[in-house]
Structure 1
């Protein structure tokens, strides 16, 4: 099969012929019809994930058709249209038994723990636990975006963030997951403040329901702060959010994943507000400074969100089928496999707006 392969972290990947995967006894091989290009793929390419071994095929947002099934698979057959969460759970550990497959103790992740979906075929483990049927009316490109960004945003906003109608929700970083969060929060009746440095991203955020948009590159530098906030850093987007929301957001998400956006999200909350960390936070030391003094003083909640279990998809799919959520509108670019290496490299400096989907057979 043809696949995108990189031999060294940060080195330009290339499309080459590699062996097709074989299904595990409990797994399947899926013919990939569409796969999303996500910032997490860029992190894998940069070497930020310890599970990635070289040479490597990235890709974890996918949709396609079951090609082969292992002998222990009972629910799926060749020809089934499917997608899957990027966390493939084991189905047997205590976390899975509690329904928390998104934090499975023995999880596998295509594109991280093994070769991923920037390829014509991909292997997925524990298929009976992890596969999700793709309705006939849902395109593969739209279904692929559900596996990481849209489903992750849905859980972050609705389940972890506990969004309520009328609340102010701040979204820091309006890439694929951030725009998904904007759309989901707005559909829930919240008032959304979108924060980004890209005018195109903010334009899309407004289109998807943001009440206010803040250009983080144009906000003034912060002045001296009280002891409940960290030392002044670059543009004071937190102050802009507090002003736009008359005192701070009830719920705020860092959908990018950087020390600056994490701190801005926490600092932009009102008393007893809720911060949800969605974007990955790699750093040289392995830790990221968080304004905990403010969290204590204002009794803030600091939460993480790590994808969404397959069993939670039906509620999301019902909202998509009803037209209440439109993940199809987030797909702004579709490219062939040959364009994937360059698009992956560009994620670090020019990620573009919306979601880019790769079609491995084009």
Structure 2
């Protein structure tokens, strides 16, 4: 049986190692993708750390993580009609069935029968090959000017921010947009909101992350180390005036960042939460509900990006309006994946770290 190199999770929170495992078999509706670029997302670390069990997520072990995939179609199942061997593709992390009411309405990100790339055996991106189920829907061909590294960069964090900025927060040109957290999601939100015409203020505790936010298009930055949500509201109002921001995006998730984002809003402001909680909050935070009523704040969540919205996203990347690969900070090999995981808890990684060496 043909084998491939893959990073295997054999126990939660235990070091992963590169193993030789069988190349995944594919079914009639599947394709096999030869991976050429695979992003390392904080979500992978959360899953490996055993987070989100409170939301019903349980990791089948052993498994290969990785869910930000750019690659080339290697082999197709007999029932696949839209894809051909040799096509360059992006693989969204949220595999949809195409048949549920949400899919039929173009909201594949909310599919009733969704399967996640990082919990589906044979589909992990930290490997030389991945099986993509229901591939005519779940593999998206790349335009000419969109690279496979672009595809890896936009496979989760960037496309999540795209939906947050464009569809959920509905950022308009000229609006003040506060982005809390300048990691992968936050930097993506900064770049997309700035390209949309928003005046972006980035908030983070690391100076190096704030410098990255400026390069991504932030007009102003605030170091939040030691500051309360109320302190940060004052900092924002000093920059923009007394009214605050029209939009805030919580790119981290959790009690402190969500409250910080809320407090930066002007009356009638819109908060979009694009991050998930950790072991500290386990899915539960306290919201100042009276202030939300008095100020008519609105709060929405965002999850991934529907497959139906990929053509618009890819057109913007193809034209150069959006540049996800500019957020890539490191290119590494499969054998380096665990060392990146070791750096994630202390926020030592910035931007996108992408596996490009699979040997």
> Which of the five TM-score ranges fits, normalised by the shorter chain?
over 0.9
Deviates further, 152-161 or 314-323: 314-323
Aligned pair partner of 2:273 in 264, 277, 285: 277
1:74 aligned onto 2:74:
no
Cross-structure match for 2:29: 26
Cross-structure match for 1:88: 95
Structure 1 length-normalised TM? 0.92
Q: Report the Cα distance in structure 1 between the residues aligned to 2:320 and 2:99, rounded to whole angstroms.
A: 35
Q: Aligned to 2:332, what secondary structure does the other structure show?
A: strand
1:10 aligned onto 2:13:
yes
Cross-structure match for 1:353: 350
What's the CA shift string for 1:249-292, capped at 9, x where partnerless? Answer: 11111111222111111121111111111011234654222332
What's the CA shift string for 1:208-252, capped at 9, x where partnerless? Answer: 211110111154x577xxxxxxxxxxxx43432343332221111
Question: 1:74, CA displacement in angstroms?
Answer: 0.9
Structure 2 length-normalised TM? 0.93
Q: Report the Cα distance in structure 1 between the residues aligned to 2:325 and 2:282, rounded to whole angstroms.
A: 38
Give the CA RMSD over aligned residues.
Answer: 1.6
1:53 aligned onto 2:60:
yes
Cross-structure match for 1:108: 115
CA distance 1:267–1:24, change in 2 (3 Å): farther
1:121 aligned onto 2:133:
no
Q: Report the Cα distance in structure 2 between the residues aligned to 1:117 and 1:222, rounded to whole angstroms.
A: 37
Cross-structure match for 2:71: 64
The alignment covers a number of residue pairs equal to 349
Cross-structure match for 2:251: 255
Map 1:54-203 onto structure 2 (within 5 A): 54-114=61-121, 115-203=123-211
Q: Report the Cα distance in structure 2 between the residues aligned to 1:26 and 1:242, rounded to whole angstroms.
A: 54
Cross-structure match for 1:230: none
Q: Report the Cα distance in structure 1 between the residues aligned to 2:310 and 2:138, rounded to whole angstroms.
A: 11
Q: Report the Cα distance in structure 1 between the residues aligned to 2:285 and 2:189, rounded to whole angstroms.
A: 23
Greater share of residues in helix: 2
Deviates further, 183-192 or 286-295: 286-295
Deviates further, 124-133 or 277-286: 277-286
Q: Aligned to 2:117, what secondary structure does the other structure show?
A: coil
Question: 1:22, CA displacement in angstroms?
Answer: 1.5
Cross-structure match for 1:215: 223
Q: Aligned to 1:47, what secondary structure does the other structure show?
A: coil
Work out whether residues 51 and 113 of structure 1, in 8 Å CA contact, stay in contact via their aligned partners in 2.
no
Cross-structure match for 2:334: 337
Q: Which runs of 5+ in 1 are unaligned?
A: 224-235
Question: 1:360, CA displacement in angstroms?
Answer: 4.5
Q: Following TM superposition, where does structure 1 have runs of at least 4 consecutive aligned residues deviating by more than 3 angstroms? A: 282-286
Q: Aligned to 1:340, what secondary structure does the other structure show?
A: helix
Q: Which runs of 5+ in 2 are unaligned?
A: none
Q: Report the Cα distance in structure 2 between the residues aligned to 1:262 and 1:113, rounded to whole angstroms.
A: 30
Cross-structure match for 1:299: 296
Q: Report the Cα distance in structure 2 between the residues aligned to 1:31 and 1:155, rounded to whole angstroms.
A: 27
Q: Aligned to 1:18, what secondary structure does the other structure show?
A: strand
Map 1:303-342 onto structure 2 (within 5 A): 303-342=300-339
What's the CA shift string for 1:59-115, capped at 9, x where partnerless? Answer: 000100111222221101121110121111110000001110011110111112435
Q: Report the Cα distance in structure 1 between the residues aligned to 2:43 and 2:229, rounded to whole angstroms.
A: 30
Cross-structure match for 1:290: 287
Work out whether residues 242 and 269 of structure 1, in 8 Å CA contact, stay in contact via their aligned partners in 2.
no
CA distance 1:159–1:2, change in 2 (3 Å): same
Q: Report the Cα distance in structure 2 between the residues aligned to 1:150 and 1:286, rounded to whole angstroms.
A: 23
Q: Report the Cα distance in structure 2 between the residues aligned to 1:82 and 1:148, rounded to whole angstroms.
A: 14
Q: Aligned to 1:275, what secondary structure does the other structure show?
A: strand
